[in-house]
Structure 1
Amino acid sequence: MKKLTVLWVLVLSVVLMSACSKKGDSPTALSTSIGVAACDEYLSKYEACVQSKIPDSMKATLSASLEQTKTQWKAAAASAEAKPALEASCKAALDAAKQSMQAYGCAW
């Protein structure tokens, strides 16, 4: 149980750190799924919000952060130990994004 808790905290920390990315890469489309329903839902809804509601000045940063999140979640989903915690982490990220993205008019 302790390992699961530590793993969940680690996955959530990675998600939060990637959200703070300052990388200026251009946005890329999400072409593959994670294989975890809550994660796929988060990625799909977040990308749709970014592309349709976010000011152009912020799109590149948020899209790059989303791409990093996708990469990290795919790696976690490939791990038998990390995958159960990933579902909970993605649900938490989805709930947080619902709140934070309302400021831009995104309805989830």
Structure 2
Amino acid sequence: MKSRLALAIMAGMVVLAPVAAAALDQIGIPECDRFISRYEACVTTKVPATHRVTFSQQVAQLRTSWRALAENPDNRAQLEQICRTQGAQMRRGLEPFGCEF
């Protein structure tokens, strides 16, 4: 009985781990979160493997920067526009790969 309970708990942890990880990756500003999600989808589905690392590093740095800005309540109001502006710049870099978002 205990082993079944332990297995059920472990199975639940395995199922919920990706959800928890995704929640940790969120900026908390819908415009920023949408951009990052779409950017990563494009990179993983359309960008050739030889270029993926560069684009993945760029979005990781951007996520870190935006998350740090979002921690300060004074910045949160401006962060949506920052995400929109920086996102547009980064989106242009993906156009040659057929990414449209």
User: Aligned in 2, Cα 1:97/1:58: closer, same or farther, shift over 3 Å?
Assistant: same
User: Unmatched 5+ residue regions in structure 2?
Assistant: 1-20
Q: How many residues were matched structurally?
A: 79
Please give the alpha-carbon distance, in whole angstroms, between the structure 1 residues aligned to 2:71 and 2:51.
Answer: 31
Higher RCO, Cα 8 Å, sep 6+? 1
Segments ≥4 residues shifted beyond 6 Å: none
With normalisation by structure 1, the TM-score equals 0.65
**Letter of the 1:61 counterpart:** T
Give the alignment partner of residue 87 of structure 1, picking from 76, 80, 84. Answer: 80
The structure that is helix-richer by fraction is: 2
CA RMSD, 1 decimal: 1.6
User: Unmatched 5+ residue regions in structure 1?
Assistant: 1-29
Question: Which entry has the higher C-alpha Rg, 1 or 2?
Answer: 2
Percent of residue pairs identical: 30
**Letter of the 1:75 counterpart:** A
